[in-house]
Amino acid sequence: MMESVQRVVEEVTTAARQRGVAVSVAVVDQAGHLVAFHRMDGALAGPIDVSIKKARTAALFGTDSDVLGQGARPGGAIYTLEHTNGGLIGFGGGVQLRRADQGIGAVGVAGATVEADEELARLGAAALR
């Protein structure tokens, strides 16, 4: 598992460097426990927690953070869900990690734009396939 996790982190950081951004990358297991973390040189401190919460959100609920966030908006069926489980994130950048169609954890990326975080997280998740 650790070798696979390293591939995810390396894919994200390589792609981030190519785009000229510095991000934090968190990888959690299926239960949302941190198994790997990397903060790139120059990345801000605030996104550390955000990257972990994005990954936990995707792992704990078995769906990407942006998808879950659609129902967690004001008036949504799961509004305020983000206040559970020690804090969740309902916007892009948390992507499930899957192997053989089974969820094995998630990757969370924070520090760039939401769109860039999402793209980088998807690239990281694709490194397992």
pLDDT in tens, 70-120: 888 899 999 999 999 999 999 999 999 998 888 899 999 999 999 999 999
The pTM assigned to this predicted structure is 0.94
The SS3 of residue 13 is helix
Which parts of the chain fold into alpha helices (H)? 2-19, 46-61, 65-71, 114-126
Rg over alpha carbons for the chain, rounded to the nearest Å, is 13
pLDDT value, residue 95? 98
* Distance of alpha carbon 102 from alpha carbon 26, whole angstroms: 19
Q: Which residues contact 1 (CB under 8 A, 6 or more apart)?
A: 35, 104
